[in-house]
Amino acid sequence: MSRNAESTAFRSALEVIRAVEPRVADAIGAELTDQRESLKLIASENYASPATLLAMGNWFSDKYAEGTVGRRFYAGCQNVDTVEALAAEHARELFGAAHAYVQPHSGIDANLVAFWAVLADRVESPALKKAQVRQVNDLSEADWFALRRELGNQRMLGMSLDAGGHLTHGFRPNISGKMFDQRSYGTDPATGLIDYDRVAEAAREFKPLILVGGYSAYPRKVNFRILREIADSVGATFMVDMAHFAGLVAGKVFTGDFDPVPHAHIVTTTTHKSLRGPRGGMVLCQPELADQVDRGCPMVLGGPLPHVMAAKAVALAEARRPDFADYAQRIVDNAQALAEGLLSRGATLVTGGTDNHLVLIDVSGYGLTGRQAEQALLDSGIVTNRNSVPQDPNGAWYTSGIRIGTPALTTRGLGTAEMDQTAELIHTVLTQTTAGANADGTPSKAKYTLDPGLADKVARQATDLLATYPLYPGIDLS
């Protein structure tokens, strides 16, 4: 698409929106301005291409399409069939998967599809029907216990939240923690790394139905061959959530033992993050689970989002191009340069570095909580998110960590030299931020003090750093 065509497309879209609700048009334009001017270091965010963005704003959003390709509950879905089949084809070819299901609306939805597919494959149907009779929110703890017992007292073993796992891997407030009798594996307290012998020991003792691999805040590679061997040793289904690092798998940065697709029975992912597509989810699986996975709607999901599936097809087609592999490698190169820049300035990093796209800073060394650090950095034009660290004394809300990632800045074209400059800006803010106190004089986990002049200076430096790497240079909304 030419730059003139991109500008015309987005300007025209905003003009149409403005005629109905100008405040929405203003917010869309302001979001582009904010993203252009800030250092986006949230590990789970990226910038989708103009083609991917435009694929979501069309008549496909008006279609109901429950069912799967060729087997819909609504008539007139032939064009939806086309885009869903294309998205699934690109996914299979990109990841070397036997089967791909591209309907999930999010990563959590993809995980729910996977969980229920495994359960439905393992148990008789009456319990599943019982679960559908009543609203999930109406079930008591006793109901959940009875349902788990009827389904075979299912058990899940996944990475703990503070070690880098995701809330859908059995965190109690999440539905996964209610569906399953859950136990977590952590990391070695001394190194922050997965201890596979301890995972194997936990699996032998707990005998899970599902062993979950994958993470949202673990800065190292995972050996999926070993985890599959552990799963096989106890008769568990091996599931991998690769939402965060799917782009590194697609770009062939993670191969062999570190590519989950050849080793897992079932793999879930989002299509944004490092994969650089629209917000959505996807399930890849071995042939024996394909029929159950394809029942995601109506088993778990509502109607598919055809306009998002169209955007998934576009983004997955982009990821199959040779230049995506170069992009994926630069993500890792930049993350390692960012980690080295922080370490050289005295920062403490979980595991001492990174093998992937993310870096986890333990900000307790700066005398701060994650919440204080997150807000101080935001004041300074640096967008991050707070995150737990292993054995975090501040819990999952205030935290002791900051998670940062390089997919978005790498999309803009920044390289390793700019990562060192970014490390300097982060370190400057954190060293100049001090923890505040509550009204009664007790230490606060949220309040902090940062000179506004320094915050403004860093924000200007961040904007200057980004000026050479314009975001969506082909789009001019003026």
| CA dist list (Å): 256 to 115, 225, 259, 261 | 25, 8, 6, 10
Q: How many helical (H) and strand (E) elements, i.e. helices and strands, does the chain have?
A: 20, 16
Q: How many CA atoms lie within 13 A of 375 on its CB side?
A: 17
Q: Among 451, 24, 95, which Cα is nearest to 266's?
A: 95
CA 47, CA 272: separation in Å to the nearest integer?
A: 9
CA 336, CA 325: separation in Å to the nearest integer?
A: 17
CA 298, CA 477: separation in Å to the nearest integer?
A: 41
User: In sequence order, what are the beta bridge partners of 386?
Assistant: 402
Q: Which residues of 246-265 are buried (b: 16+ CB within 10 A; e: fewer)?
A: bbbbbbebbeebbbbbebbb
Active site (catalytic) residues = 64, 66, 241, 270, 273, 279
Between the two ends of the chain, the Cα-to-Cα distance in Å is: 19
Q: Among 276, 291, 271, 403, which Cα is nearest to 330's?
A: 276
User: In sequence order, what are the beta bridge partners of 145?
Assistant: none
Number of Cβ atoms within 10 Å of the Cβ of 129: 9
